Structure 1
Amino acid sequence: MRNATDKASTAVLALGFLFLYLPIASVVFYSFNDSRLVSVWSHFSFRWYTALASDDELINAATLSLKIALLTACASTFVGTWAGFILARFNRFQGRTLFSLMINAPLVIPEVITGISLLLLFVAMEQVFGWPRGRGWLTMAIGHTVLCVSYVAIVVQSRVKELDKATEEAALDLGAGPLRVFFYITLPLISQAVGSGWLLSFTISVDDLILSAFLSGPGSTTLPLVVFSRVRLGMNPEMNALAAVIIAVVTLGVFVLNRSVRNRGESARQIAAQNHQKSITGLQDYGATNV
């Protein structure tokens, strides 16, 4: 009976993975198809990769999207890490409910509403202050950051709540200030959550279409906007080549970052354990001396 249950679970899991990853594999497979028809195989060729390399519109849009995504990921990680830490460690302070509501609001508010609100805000600011002059990459980066801060804060908050406070308290007892404890003890321990938040923000920004449509201007068309406008006129095999390149880059980036964060996290945990043991030994020696 148990073997039958295990086989059924394995089959369901396999079907789930096929449902998720078979379309992605088919996109990569047909990106090497020489035919103009997306779903009809002709023969193996790098024709569409060559066409992609000479497509200035797609390259410029991809470069702009990466620029916005990098800025968004860094800004969102910086703000979201502090917000998540505050929500996890400071349970009671004046305005906490409002602060938590503001951090979590972008998760439940439709992106259309957020896009309209930010568009009206930027228009009003331009009329009053003269900034920003029109819409472009900066307004899109601000809009993406507003959206992504919530995701980083939630990931970091859940990780901080799982931490053992004994290590931080030991560092405080040894004379370290709160900021020093955060940067040398807490931050290394939550580095995996911070890295995950950075990756999540980067992915959301690169993939965002709705906010970009509201906040973009002339000469600031991102990759999702270009792809969406082309797909509406019919699927182009060049899109398969573009998707395959993005999949390869993202997969490599995730693998390298995960290995780096994992190694750094292990080193940080070892250092924290050593510091904790030193603090215990110091306290024991202090107690023995005074006795």
Structure 2
Amino acid sequence: MKKALLTYSSFILLFLYIPLVILALYSFNDSRINAAWKGFTLHWYVDLFQNEAVIDALLNSLLIALVTTAAATVLGTLCALGLHTYKQRTRTILSGFMYVPILVPDILMGLSMLLVFSQLHWELGKFTLIIAHITFSISFVVILLSARLASMGKTLQEAASDLGATPWQTFRYVTLPALLPGIISASLLTFTLSIDDFVISFFVSGPGSTTLPLYIYSMVKRGVTPEINALSTILVGMIVILMILSEKFQTKGTDGRKGQLPF
């Protein structure tokens, strides 16, 4: 039974990752036709980074992702800490609402955000992209940090209070250090979600706010070329690295060091 499950899992992983490997492989193909391998080359990557439109799209994606990550992490952390103070039943009900932006299809989320911005008469651009990305990212931050807070319990905070710590000292020296790996993991996940988003960005972007996924989509409409393969490979590589780092920090616990509390 164990061997059968291992084989099944291996086939699933191959099914998921072989297309990405092929895409990356053909980004080094010395031919504009993906159907035939003509030799190894790096000139598609050189041409790619000499393309001003690609650089602009990359800078837009990085700017939007960085601002989104900073805002969503701060707001999500405060929300998770606030929810943690409620009783279990109330916390469960309020936390359930956090799953709505995750469960709602992206196309509906994008359309609803477009309608809101239209009613507010906001011009579509980087600002609306950032607002939309923050909106769907906060839920991921709250859910990740709420789970970490639940695993921590309240024993350490109560012990700190018994030792004479103020609420601010308890947060600074007890809660925050224990929560920090989760905060870093949530911020990396938020950055990944933002830089990878296409559907919601498609609805709320405007002139001068084209992101990398949107630029890839515009290129694909003219046909799949090695430049698209190269650009997609770079994007996939960035996402994989960020997800690995996010998982590393998510599973990282406290370092186990012991010492006198600084209060």
The interval holding the TM-score normalised by the smaller chain is 0.7 to 0.9
Partner of 2:208: 219
Give the aligned partner of residue 45 of structure 2: 49
Contact 1:30–1:39 (8 Å) recurs in 2? no
Retained in 1: the 8 A contact 2:27–2:226?
A: yes
Alignment gaps of 5+ in structure 2: none
> How many residues are matched?
263
Looking at structure 2, the residues matched to 225 and 253 of structure 1 have their Cα atoms a distance apart, in angstroms, of 20
| Partner residue in 1 for 2:170 | 181
Q: Which structure carries more helix by proportion?
A: 1
State the Cα deviation string for residues 35-68 of structure 1 (Å, max 9, x = none). 1112421101112111111111111111101111
Q: Which secondary structure does the structure 2 equivalent of 1:190 belong to?
A: helix
CA distances 1:208-242 after superposition (whole Å, capped 9, x unpaired): 11221221111111111111122122111111111
Residue in structure 1 matching 2:111, options 111, 116, 128: 116
1:190 equivalent to 2:179? Answer: yes
Name stretches of at least 5 consecutive residues in structure 1 with no aligned partner.
Answer: 127-131, 280-291
Q: 1:8 to 1:112 in 2, by over 3 A?
A: closer
Q: TM-score, normalised by structure 1?
A: 0.80
- The amino acid of 1:169's aligned partner reads E
Match of 2:8 among 5, 12, 18: 12
Moved more, 209-218 or 245-254: 245-254
Question: 8 Å contact 2:29–2:38 — kept in the other structure?
Answer: yes
- 3-state SS of 1:40 partner: coil
Does the CA-based 8 Å contact 2:185-2:250 persist in structure 1?
no
* Identity, % of aligned positions: 35
Q: 1:167 aligns with which of 156, 173, 183?
A: 156
Distance 1:240 1:190 in 2: 39
Q: Residue in 2 aligned with 1:29?
A: 25
Say if 2:68 is the partner of 1:72. yes
CA root-mean-square deviation = 2.8
Where 1:144 maps in the other structure, the secondary structure is: helix
TM-score (norm 2): 0.87
Q: Structure 1 24/215 Cα, relative in aligned 2: closer, same or farther at 3 Å?
A: same
The structure whose Rg is larger is 1
Q: CA deviation at 1:141?
A: 0.6
Deviation string 1:42-97 (CA, Å, 9 cap, x unpaired) is: 1011121111111111111111011111111111111112222332341279x868
The answer to whether the Cα contact below 8 Å between 2:181 and 2:249 also exists between their aligned partners in 1 is: no
